[in-house]
């Protein structure tokens, strides 16, 4: 079958028109068309030229669905229509959609007719069922993927997979698993399956299947990234909402544990870090600050006698130039005021959740009035104190009763069965929206362990839940994080060292085996969007591991300090996430789609545009066959790991400045204080000063490191760091361009301004050169000092 390109369709409509009776089977509309077969209605709606919605439902059963995920309305722009040999086509300038008039089967093609994705013939199925007495369906749609096509995303599933071809994944929110029904293809498109019930994804010889427990329709979006992974993510964010900018201080180091039992202990941790000279920006107050009686569970008030002056605690933390986050839950004990008000309005679910008592119940976050009540108590009891951030735990929510009876709970939007996967979206959205209404001076920051499509718009940072303290678990964090990122959610982190030691380390932080695991995990965490130590039983503060001069302390301090030096690079990349739908945690296929060796590589990743990161995920210096036999760490022989340097770029060892060709595997030595890091040639890398907290030395010179071997550029972003004035244009950028042949770095004219901006500043420009030892280098590395006043200046190196 041959189709004319979209530019020729209108001119030929008269020649291709079907008989009148056949033409009545579909109707054109400004956003697409509606086609009806003998048993099925198919609606095609263009939201942009690259975003197409497909809605299918049994004939005569129009669902009238309102999406919880999608924000953008249809806005197709010019469309062209045509038909030929029983197939109808509607096309934008970049995306063609073809529908079989007899079966309703849909296929997608790029502008020039290159196939993107096709449904299987007869791939849509509707199985009638009852849900709380209401007639509905189990809905299924099967697609045909191309041979060798890699698919990614689907949320966070800690199974070690990056490419989900030939795999099955249960999309059902629970601790450790995050269900995000976005399937991201290596061909540069994605499918957003807009359904909120438990869904089985499976790919096999029969095709790729989405099979949802409840749905009134098949409802999905084709996101045409026009051949690039970044294009896919941009279309997803355009459709479901952009990610707001976090406060700059959230990029510093966070300390936490389960749990600090008094305000003196909480403040004392910050004081200890300051006394040691180890950088710190965030301290976390975990649960039971409300008291240990579960009848007062999550009271959103400091009833615990260990916290007699919560306002004084927050003020002391702020006086130490740190910030505080606090744990909050979606459930309430029966003696809390929130429980009593929610119960009086029938806004509580009837299932057992943590802490395993029938007197603690989860609230119905699908009800906007219930979200108002939740914020009322949160604001009165905690936010008014000046609390800086929220740790929204158990936003699945974590259920302990049989799932079939839990699903029979009625929500404001129908059964819990129908909407369960979207609970974290609406729960975090309630807090985000209410805080925005109360204050524009403090940016919202929410740490949460569950997520759904669209949740990036709620200022959420996802963490990988209460993972075990094991090497194999550490290794699986990498593809889990990358999968979530490929599904469009940019912000992820994990508990450094794992949450549950499970008795494996009887000496805790003094155990060499745990010290090695924790140190390697922390190195990985330094190259994730949030660097946060947390865990149960074993304390995680740096001073628990020994004194300065001991290997564990020094290796950890080195990477905390490196994290702070990277703040200009990190904050600028976070701005790219917000302003350009960017991605910080980048699976290698995003940047090197032509290199087949990285198609399913989940052991390495790019961190922003510059860094190739290869975490060490196996024990190298402590080998303990029996957990009860203490074995000292042996550094007699330096170990190493294999690192693959992707083809299509040249690379520079961050630590030594040594250049390396791409497309090869190298053996990199890994002493305990070093994780393999390579910088893409052509990178322009801004480094900040050594400091104890974010903003301590904002007036200090910035170091600009140039990695030769290719042309490149970087845009430095700056603003007021913790308010929403940037949304009104209060920020500044400096574009830095490197011409490799001319050996010239050009600092372009500053664009924009904001209150408190430094009118002039000093840059120390360094050309990285292995011969002169300017890899990561010392502070006295050879540099050219540049006095920058906002006007373009060129620097020859």
The residues assigned a catalytic role are: 393, 396, 466
Length in residues, the chain: 797
Question: Across the strands, what pairs with 533?
Answer: 255, 496
H/E stretch holding 283 reads strand 282-285
Q: Are 293 and 246 in contact (CB under 8 A)?
A: no
Q: Are 750 and 736 in contact (CB under 8 A)?
A: no
Distances (CA, A) of 146 to 203, 204, 284, 472, 597: 12, 12, 47, 32, 19
Give CB contacts under 8 A, 24+ apart, made by 545-554. Answer: 545/509, 545/510, 545/515, 545/518, 546/510, 546/515, 548/276, 551/515, 551/633, 551/635, 551/672, 551/673, 552/515, 552/518, 552/519, 554/673
State how beta strands 134-144 and 460-463 pair. Answer: unpaired
State how beta strands 684-687 and 702-706 pair. Answer: antiparallel
Residue appearing with tokens 């490419």? 163
Query: Nearest Cα to 675, choosing from 624, 590, 612?
Result: 612
Q: Are 174 and 198 in contact (CB under 8 A)?
A: no
Per the rule left: phi > 0, alpha: psi between -120 and 50, beta: everything else, 731 is: beta
Instruction: Please give the Cα distance from 716 to 761 (Å, whole number).
Output: 13
Residue appearing with tokens 């244009």? 729
Instruction: Please give the Cα distance from 188 to 107 (Å, whole number).
Output: 15
Structure tokens at 262: 């008094």
H/E stretch holding 406 reads helix 403-406
Per the rule left: phi > 0, alpha: psi between -120 and 50, beta: everything else, 715 is: beta
Instruction: Please give the Cα distance from 676 to 203 (Å, whole number).
Output: 35
Instruction: Please give the Cα distance from 221 to 44 (Å, whole number).
Output: 10
Instruction: Please give the Cα distance from 768 to 677 (Å, whole number).
Output: 14
Distances (CA, A) of 713 to 195, 374, 619, 685, 746: 41, 46, 37, 9, 9
DSSP category for residue 502? T
Instruction: Please give the Cα distance from 158 to 462 (Å, whole number).
Output: 14
Assign 300 to helix, strand or coil: coil
Concatenating the DSSP letter of every residue in 164-229 gives -TT-EEEE--BTTBEEEEEEEETTTEEEEE---S-EEEEEETTEEEEEEEEESSEEEEEEE-TT-H
The residues, ordered by sequence, that sit 6+ positions from 441 with a Cβ below 8 Å of its Cβ are 722, 723
Instruction: Please give the Cα distance from 73 to 238 (Å, whole number).
Output: 11
Is the alpha carbon torsion for 716, 718, 723, 727 positive or negative?
negative
The residues, ordered by sequence, that sit 6+ positions from 46 with a Cβ below 8 Å of its Cβ are 31, 32, 52, 53, 74, 75, 76, 77, 79, 90, 92, 95
Q: What are phi and psi of 167, to 5 degrees?
A: -115, 165
Q: Are 200 and 26 in contact (CB under 8 A)?
A: no
Per the rule left: phi > 0, alpha: psi between -120 and 50, beta: everything else, 32 is: left
DSSP category for residue 458? G
State how beta strands 134-144 and 80-84 pair. Answer: unpaired
């Amino acid at each position: 079958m041959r189709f004319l390109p979209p530019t020729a369709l209108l001119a030929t409509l008269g020649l291709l028109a079907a008989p009148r009776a056949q033409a009545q089977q579909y109707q054109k509309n400004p956003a697409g068309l509606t086609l009806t077969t003998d048993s099925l209605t198919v609606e095609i709606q263009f939201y942009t030229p690259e975003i197409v919605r497909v809605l299918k439902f049994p004939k005569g059963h129009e669902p009238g669905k309102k999406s919880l995920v999608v924000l953008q309305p249809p806005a197709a722009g010019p469309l062209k229509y045509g038909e030929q040999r029983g197939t109808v086509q509607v096309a934008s300038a970049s995306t063609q959609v073809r529908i079989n008039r007899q079966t309703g089967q849909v296929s997608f093609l790029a502008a020039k007719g290159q196939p993107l994705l096709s449904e299987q013939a007869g791939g849509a199925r509707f199985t009638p069922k009852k849900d709380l007495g209401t007639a509905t369906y189990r809905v299924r749609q099967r697609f045909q993927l191309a041979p060798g096509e890699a698919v990614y995303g689907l949320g966070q599933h800690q199974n070690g997979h990056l490419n989900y071809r030939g795999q099955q994944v249960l999309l059902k929110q629970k601790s450790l698993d995050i269900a995000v029904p976005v399937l991201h293809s290596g061909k540069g498109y994605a499918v957003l399956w807009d359904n909120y019930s438990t869904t089985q994804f499976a790919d096999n010889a029969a095709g790729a299947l989405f099979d949802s427990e409840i749905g009134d329709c098949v409802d999905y979006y084709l996101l045409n990234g026009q051949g690039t992974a970044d294009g896919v993510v941009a279309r997803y964010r355009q459709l479901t909402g952009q990610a707001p900018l976090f406060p700059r201080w959230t990029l510093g180091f966070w300390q936490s544990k389960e749990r600090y039992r008094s305000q003196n202990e909480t403040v004392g941790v910050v004081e200890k870090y300051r006394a040691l000279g180890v950088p710190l920006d965030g301290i976390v107050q975990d649960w039971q600050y409300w008291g240990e009686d579960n009848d007062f569970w999550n009271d959103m008030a400091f009833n615990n006698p260990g916290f007699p002056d919560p306002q004084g605690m927050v003020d002391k933390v702020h006086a130490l130039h740190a910030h505080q986050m606090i744990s909050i839950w979606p459930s309430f004990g029966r003696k809390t005021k929130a429980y009593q008000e929610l119960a009086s309005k029938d806004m509580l679910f009837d299932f057992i959740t943590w802490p395993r008592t029938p007197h603690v119940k989860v609230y119905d976050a699908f009800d906007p009035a219930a979200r108002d009540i939740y914020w009322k108590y949160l604001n009165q009891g905690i936010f008014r104190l000046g609390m800086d951030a929220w740790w929204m735990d158990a936003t699945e929510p974590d259920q302990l009763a049989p799932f079939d009876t839990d699903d029979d709970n009625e929500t404001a939007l129908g059964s819990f069965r129908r909407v369960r996967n979207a609970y974290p979206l609406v729960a975090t959205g309630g807090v985000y929206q209410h805080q925005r209404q109360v204050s524009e001076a403090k940016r919202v920051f929410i740490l949460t362990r569950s997520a759904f499509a669209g949740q990036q718009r709620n200022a959420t940072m996802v963490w990988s839940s209460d993972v075990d303290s094991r090497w194999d678990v550490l290794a699986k964090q990498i593809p889990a994080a990358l999968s979530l990122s490929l599904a469009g959610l940019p912000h992820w982190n994990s508990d450094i060292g794992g949450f549950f030691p499970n008795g494996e380390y009887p000496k805790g932080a003094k155990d060499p085996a745990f010290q090695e695991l924790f140190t390697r995990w922390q190195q990985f965490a330094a190259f994730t969007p949030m660097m946060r130590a947390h865990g149960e039983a074993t304390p995680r503060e740096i001073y628990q591991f020994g004194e300065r001069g001991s290997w564990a302390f020094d290796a950890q301090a080195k990477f905390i300090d490196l994290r702070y030096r990277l703040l200009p690079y990190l904050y600028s990349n976070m701005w790219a996430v917000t302003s350009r739908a960017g991605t910080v945690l980048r699976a290698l296929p995003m940047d090197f789609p032509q290199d087949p060796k990285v198609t399913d590589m989940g052991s390495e990743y790019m961190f922003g545009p510059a860094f190739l990161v290869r975490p060490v995920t196996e024990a190298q210096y402590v080998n303990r066959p029996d957990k009860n036999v203490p074995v000292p760490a042996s550094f007699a022989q330096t170990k190493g790991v294999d690192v693959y340097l992707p083809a299509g770029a040249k690379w520079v060892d961050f630590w030594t400045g040594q250049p390396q060709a791409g497309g090869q595997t190298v053996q990199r030595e890994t002493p305990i204080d070093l994780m393999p890091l390579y910088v893409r040639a052509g990178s322009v890398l801004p480094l900040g000063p050594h400091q104890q907290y974010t903003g301590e030395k904002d007036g200090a010179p910035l170091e600009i490191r140039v990695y030769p071997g290719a042309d490149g550029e970087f845009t430095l972003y700056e603003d007021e760091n913790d308010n929403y004035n940037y949304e009104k244009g209060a920020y500044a950028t400096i574009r830095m361009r490197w011409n490799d042949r001319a050996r010239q770095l050009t600092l372009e004219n500053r664009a924009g301004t904001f209150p408190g901006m430094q009118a002039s500043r000093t840059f120390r420009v360094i050309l990285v050169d292995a011969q002169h030892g300017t890899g990561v280098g010392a502070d006295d590395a050879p540099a050219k000092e540049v006095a920058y006043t906002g006007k373009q200046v060129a620097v020859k190196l």
